Structures are given as C-alpha cells and as structure tokens.
Chain A
Amino acid sequence: MRLARQGDDEAYRRLLGQVAIWLRAVVRRGLASAGRGPAESEDIVQEALLAVHLKRETWDASRPIGPWLRAIAQHKLADHLRRRGFHDHLDIDEWSNAPELAVEVEAPAAIDSRRMLASLPDRQRTIVQEISLEGHTAADVAARLGMTEGAVRVALHRALKSLAAFYRREQP
C-alpha cells in the first residue's frame, strides 16, 4: 500500500489481488457464522474491495494495515447482513486470522453486473467496460473516445463511487 500510494500500479494490483483472496475467506466464514451460504460472498468481496480503494486515504501509513482492512471487512459484512435483516453482532476477529482457509476460487457475483453498469451514465459505463471487462488502459480508452486521459480517470473515479453507492442501495 505504501508503494501504491506513491503511484506503483503493479504493487497496487498485487495488494488488491491478495486482499481479495483474504476478503473471500473472511466473508465466507462471516456468512457461515450468520447461517448463510456463500452465494452473496463475491458481492461483499467486491463491495469491500471498492471501499478499500475509495477509502484508502483513511489508512494511516504509520500503522499496520491489517486492523484497517479488518475494520472495513467487518463494516461491509455487517452492513450487508443488516440490509438482509440480520441484527446479531458479528466479531470477525475470531475468524479473520486464518489464512490457511483462503479461498482462491471466486464464486460468480450475484448482483447482475449488467444492471449495475446500466445504472451508470453512458460515458462512465463505456469507460468501466473498456477498462475492466476488456482490459484496456486508461490511455487507450482516452484515445478511442477522443477524451484526455485525465478526463477518463475522473469519469472512472466517479463511476467507481457510483458503483459503491449501488451496492449500498442493493437489496436482493
């Protein structure tokens, strides 16, 4: 995360990849202890991953990152369960320190991503699709759409914030 803050994209990708694997394990165990199956787990993983990204300014670089990640995972998991009518207190500390249970294989996300993307304005939707689904870089997308790279990044950032809001509203 320290490297990522200085703009090291590869370090950031590695970090998010590892965080996703860790989140998957934490979220499945959290769902299991709330008596729920893993069907919604990937939605929560993605929502928490978005929060890790959008809220990365709140991590204090002088402190270990583990408790910060745990707090975000716990918040998103509790929030998800509360929206589905589960009110007991969940303490993820009991089961979040178990890397041997990490699940590498991801389940399909339950929230329909087409519907999620459809909630975005056209321009933002195109940018998210080109970058995430088709794997283009921001510079490529900018050239194809005739925008500056900065404008693509701004639109992408807005789109990510809208997606985070979409997860918060979603009540399947």
Chain B
Amino acid sequence: MKTDQLVDALVADGGAASPIARLLLLALAAGVALSLVVFFLTLGIRPDIGPALETWRFDLKIVTALLGLVLAFGVCRDCARPDMPPHPLRRLLPLLALIVLAVAVELVLVPEAAWRQRLIGSNSLICLPMVPILSLAPLAVVLWMLRRAAPASPALAGAAAGFMAALSGATLYAFHCFDDSPLFVATWYSLAVLGMTAVGAWLGPKLLRW
C-alpha cells in the first residue's frame, strides 16, 4: 500500500475525536458507578454517618481520599499521552503533604499510649481487601479506555490507572469504615492503594503497548 492510499483510508475514517481526558473521566465515572452497586450490596454507609460528618477526623479522611482522586486523575491523564510532561508524580505532593500533616496533628493530640490502638483500629482486615475490591471495576474500565491512548510508558500509565482506581475505591470505603484516625488511614488505606498501584503497573505493559 502506498502512503497516499493509507492517508485516503485514514481521512475516510474521519478526524473527529474527543480528548482523552474526557474519555478517561467517563471511564472512571462508569467504573465508580459499578463499584457503588457493589458498595451498597456488601458494606453500605456506616449507620452513624450523621454524627461522623461532624467530626474533623472523618471529614479529613474523606477530603484526603477525594484530593487523592482528583490529583490521581491528573497523573493518569498525563501518563496517557506519548509526550508525557516531565515529573507527573509532582502532582501528588499536596496529597503527601496533607497526609504527613494529618498524622503529625494526630500524634500531637493523642497520648502516646493510645497510638497503637488508633493505628490498628477495628477494621484493618476489612479495609485491606475491600479497597482493592471496590477499585476493580474502575481499574478495568480505565485500563480498557487507556488502550485507546498512547502512553509514553505503559507501566507508568498502568500504575497511574491502578492508583486512581484505588483512590476511588478508598473514597467509597471511607464512608463505611469506622476508623477515622489519620494513623489508621495513612497506614491501611495507603497499603491497599499501593497494592493496587502495583497491580496496575504489572498490567500496564501487558495491556497498554501501542
């Protein structure tokens, strides 16, 4: 085939396109909708949600997860491009700063004797599997959408997808979980999120080569 003939075929296919950022947002929304169904079928919102909303620890937990989700979306969008901007991970610095600050405040407010109990909490054995379970659907849909993208590094794009999906799962799970201490969140939520990030990084090179 001559290149001009190929161009004819490409033009016939049409140049219209929606930006990848919008497609990724749609994919994330679809994945979260699926996870919402799973969430309400298995866990549901904690019964004391009203009083919980009035405590700063619960609110901070939700804000942290949502901030992470928004920043992760930016990273994922950057990683979907062949001309990835340098240092996409810098976007996550505000999240890291918020977690460090929250842990520091908690360590000051809570007496040392209670640190251990706050850290272990009551729910860690549910948190560790449920955050990944709630991120499975978002991860699948986002990875599927990323196959239309052209990531400079498939492994990095996969990791970003896993990270974003895990934060969407963590945001949902946070509405169920009774452990609001920043010590608990910084430990168990982070472990679950990092696990899903690793899964994404492993899947990326298998699924996202182009």
Given A71-B83, A160-B13, decide whether A132 and B210 contact each other with a Cβ distance below 8 A.
Answer: no
Of B1, B18, B23, most A-chain CB atoms within 10 Å: B1
Q: How many residues of A contact B (CB 8 A)?
A: 56
Contact assessment for A50 and B6 in the assembled complex, using a CB-CB cutoff below 8 Å: yes
Contact assessment for A16 and B16 in the assembled complex, using a CB-CB cutoff below 8 Å: no
Tell me the bound Cα distance from A42 to B7 in angstroms. Answer: 13
Q: How many residues of B contact A (CB 8 A)?
A: 33
Contact assessment for B82 and A58 in the assembled complex, using a CB-CB cutoff below 8 Å: yes
The residue that B11 contacts in the complex, of A1, A9, A113, A133, with Cβ under 8 A, is A9
Given A57-B23, A75-B82, A128-B9, decide whether A5 and B3 contact each other with a Cβ distance below 8 A.
Answer: no
Tell me the bound Cα distance from A105 to B10 in angstroms. Answer: 20
Given A131-B8, A131-B12, decide whether A46 and B80 contact each other with a Cβ distance below 8 A.
Answer: no
The residue that B150 contacts in the complex, of A63, A72, A128, with Cβ under 8 A, is A72
Contact assessment for A7 and B14 in the assembled complex, using a CB-CB cutoff below 8 Å: yes
Of B8, B81, B82, B209, most A-chain CB atoms within 10 Å: B82
Contact assessment for B20 and A58 in the assembled complex, using a CB-CB cutoff below 8 Å: yes
Residue numbers in B under 8 Å from A17 (CB-CB): 4, 7
Residue numbers in A under 8 Å from B10 (CB-CB): 12, 16, 49-50, 53, 160
Least CB distance from B85 to A in Å reads 9
Contact assessment for B152 and A75 in the assembled complex, using a CB-CB cutoff below 8 Å: yes
Of B3, B4, B84, most A-chain CB atoms within 10 Å: B3
Least CB distance from B170 to A in Å reads 27
